[in-house]
């Protein structure tokens, strides 16, 4: 084989490797964009869960400690029909609060599931990113 033929084949080999590197780099750019997207989603979910926990704590303090535990026993200024009316209203508020707490807990559970799913997706993306980086390093070593 002539030196010109060897040089031509070497150029073709190197060009094929460069095309493979470019293709892997393009795929890597897409994976990195997906990682950024899911990291932003994870951040938003985590912040939402923290905010939700704060709202639930405030609800417990504002409703249970102030309204539901308010003393409306007979013999106070709430005696008679007013006491009965107050008990009904307090039961209504307590039931509404309990329903709200149940809904908040379900939402918290849903957010936790979304966080778990997002973390799982991110782990797959991180693994794919590492694999692509390794492929690119190996291809560059062949140049």
* pLDDT band of 77, cuts 50, 70, 90: low
* pLDDT band of 94, cuts 50, 70, 90: confident
Burial 45-60 (b: 16+ CB within 10 A, else e): beeebeeeeeebeeee
3-state secondary structure of 68: helix
pTM over 0.95: no
76 torsion bin: left (phi>0), alpha (psi -120 to 50), beta (else): beta
The answer on pLDDT for 76 being more than 60 is no
* pLDDT band of 72, cuts 50, 70, 90: low
Q: Kindly report, residue by residue over 104-124, the tens digit of the pLDDT.
A: 999 999 999 999 999 999 999
């Amino acid at each position: 084989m002539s030196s010109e033929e060897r040089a031509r084949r070497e150029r073709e080999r190197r060009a094929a490797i460069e095309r493979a590197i470019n293709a892997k780099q393009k795929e890597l750019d897409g994976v990195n964009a997906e990682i950024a997207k899911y990291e932003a989603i994870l951040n938003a979910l985590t912040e939402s869960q923290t905010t939700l926990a704060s709202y639930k704590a405030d609800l417990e303090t504002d409703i249970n400690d102030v309204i539901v535990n308010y003393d409306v026993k007979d013999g106070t200024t709430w005696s008679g029909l007013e006491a009965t009316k107050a008990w009904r209203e307090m039961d209504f508020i307590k039931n509404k609060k309990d329903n709200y707490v149940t809904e908040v807990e379900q939402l918290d559970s849903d957010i936790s599931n979304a966080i778990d799913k997002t973390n799982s997706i991110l782990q797959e993306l991180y693994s794919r990113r590492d694999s692509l980086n390794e492929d690119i390093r190996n291809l560059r070593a062949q140049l």
